[in-house]
Structures are given as structure tokens and as C-alpha cells.
């Protein structure tokens, strides 16, 4: 969005009437869908500074670089973390099933999906400028942005599932990580005691400083099914190893 504004403002600066237009911009009253961008584009086309073909190209490039910006407009945390993220993952992995007592007699809402006897919890977050107080869709970051971000995966309960699928959204990309519950629980960035009295629950901050440390768990969308199976196998192996150590000890 900043790049688009800079591009439009640079074109306006080349107009003879740029000072008058700048003053009009400062006094501009915006009511959706009429805003500063609409005003600048209409003015540039009207002044012959931006052709219709140029506008189409500008629009195409913006959409390509901000294809997931609409996800940042989901304001309710549950609307994003539960409704959007779970529906989106199910589209990518249609084999996922909504859990029930028929599939798991012990199920009582502890996790989000069931797959071949694997209990799966989905966590999602969005990359935004950590130092900005603007609305989410304004401070949303592109994947190549140098600005700091801090995505907090909250209410993590390793004891309630076998596998975690993390989904992180930028303006232009969506990234995925698949970890076993044991790998989350033992991760140095996982902290317990998010809420007082909530035993076995914690949180993990994925940010610009530590994100590369999770690269071994990252995968492409088409790999999610196989990565979930592999994470379950790693989880089972770690539990077996832990039990063996306990017996020996």
C-alpha cells in the first residue's frame, strides 16, 4: 500500500497543479469506497498523466502483490483463527475430518481435525508491522518487508493433540509449518502459563528474529497431508523414546 501511494504521489508531483492537488488531498474527506487512492487515480486519469492501460497494469501488479490482504480485514479473532483458518486448511487437505465422539470417544473440543487417528490442532496468525497502531489491513506486511513482526500462536495445548499445523499470512504469501505436539512442547520458544490456572497451556511467538529456526518444519501446501503423517510418526517415536528413558531411569 505504501508503494502504491508513493507511485501515485510521484505522478501527481509531476503535474503543474501538484500543489493545488496536494492541498485538496490534505482536506479530503473519505467515505468508503471514495478515498485518497480513488481520488489520486481519478485525478491522474483525468489529467492524462495515467492512461487506462497504465491503470490496468497498476491494478494488476497491486493485486498480485496483495492477494491475501483481504484476510487482514477479518477483525474478529475467532473469525480468522477458527472459521477462516480451519476452512482454508480443509480446502488444502480435504481428507481432514471434523472430530466427534464417534471418531474419538474422548473428544470434547480439545482439537480441530481428525485424520487417520491423528488429532490435529490448527493455529493461525498474520504478519503485521509490530510498531504500528494502524488497523490490521493497513499495517499488514509483505513477505519481503524489513519491518519487524511478531505472530503470537496462543492457547497451545500440546497434551490435547498429536500434531500442530501453523498457518501464517502475509500480504502476498501464506506459509505453513507442521510440528508434532512434542516438538512444540520442547521448543525453547514455547512458554507455559499464558493464562493463570490453565495447566498445560502456553504460547509461542514466531517473529522476524526466530522464524528461520523453524524452517525444518515448513512445507508447501501440497505437502501438508504427508507432513501431518510424518509429524505424527515423530511424535509417536518421541513418546516411545521418552517412555524407554523413564524405565531405564
Q: What are phi and psi of 72, to 5 degrees?
A: -75, -10
Strands (E) located in the chain? 113-115, 118-126, 150-156, 163-169, 174-180, 190-192, 202-207, 218-219
Task: Dump pLDDT digits (tens) for 70-103.
Answer: 999 998 878 898 899 999 999 999 999 999 999 9
Any alpha helices (H) in 123-188, and if so which ranges?
A: 136-139, 181-185
Q: What is the pLDDT of residue 239?
A: 62
What pTM did the predictor assign?
0.81
pLDDT at 247: 43
- How far apart are the C-alpha atoms of 28 and 91, rounded to whole Å? 42
- pLDDT for 233 equals 96
Phi, psi of 64 (to 5 degrees): -65, -35
Q: Which three cell numbers stand for residue 181?
A: 505436539
Cell numbers for 154: 496462543
CATH architecture group of domain 74-248: 3-Layer(aba) Sandwich (3.40)
Where do the structural domains in the chain lie, given as residue ranges?
A: 2-65, 74-248
Average pLDDT per block of 10 residues along the chain, 249 residues long: 84 91 88 86 94 93 91 87 93 96 93 96 95 90 94 93 97 97 95 63 94 97 97 86 48
The Cα–Cα gap between 54 and 167 comes to 35
Q: What pLDDT was estimated at residue 199? A: 62
User: Cα torsion for 204, 209, 212, 217, to the nearest 10°?
Assistant: 0
Give the DSSP letter string of 222-235.
GGHHHHHHHHHHHH
How far, in Å, CA of 192 to CA of 204, rounded?
Answer: 9
Give me the pLDDT at residue 198, please: 58
Amino acid at each position: 500500500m505504501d508503494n502504491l501511494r508513493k507511485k501515485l504521489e510521484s505522478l501527481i508531483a509531476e503535474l503543474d497543479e501538484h500543489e493545488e492537488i496536494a492541498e485538496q488531498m490534505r482536506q479530503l474527506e473519505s467515505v468508503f469506497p471514495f478515498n485518497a487512492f480513488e481520488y489520486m487515480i481519478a485525478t491522474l486519469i483525468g489529467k492524462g498523466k495515467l492512461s487506462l492501460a497504465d491503470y490496468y497494469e497498476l491494478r494488476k501488479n497491486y493485486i498480485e502483490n496483495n492477494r491475501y490482504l483481504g484476510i487482514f480485514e477479518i477483525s474478529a479473532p475467532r473469525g480468522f483463527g477458527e472459521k477462516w483458518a480451519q476452512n482454508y486448511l480443509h480446502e488444502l487437505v480435504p481428507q481432514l475430518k471434523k472430530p466427534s465422539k464417534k471418531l474419538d470417544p474422548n473428544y470434547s473440543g480439545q482439537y480441530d481435525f481428525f485424520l487417520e487417528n491423528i488429532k490435529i490442532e490448527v493455529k493461525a496468525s498474520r504478519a503485521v508491522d509490530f510498531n504500528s497502531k494502524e488497523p490490521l489491513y493497513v499495517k499488514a506486511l509483505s513477505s519481503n518487508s524489513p519491518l519487524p513482526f511478531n505472530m503470537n500462536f496462543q492457547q497451545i495445548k500440546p497434551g490435547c493433540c498429536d500434531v500442530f499445523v501453523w498457518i501464517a499470512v502475509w500480504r502476498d504469501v501464506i506459509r505453513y509449518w507442521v510440528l508434532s505436539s512434542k516438538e512444540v512442547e520442547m521448543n525453547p520458544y514455547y512458554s507455559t502459563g499464558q493464562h493463570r490456572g490453565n495447566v498445560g497451556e502456553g504460547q509461542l511467538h514466531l517473529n522476524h528474529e526466530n522464524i528461520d529456526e523453524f524452517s525444518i518444519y515448513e512445507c508447501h501446501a501440497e505437502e501438508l497431508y504427508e507432513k501431518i503423517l510424518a509429524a505424527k510418526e515423530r511424535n509417536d517415536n518421541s513418546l516411545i523414546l521418552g517412555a524407554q528413558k523413564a524405565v531405564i531411569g
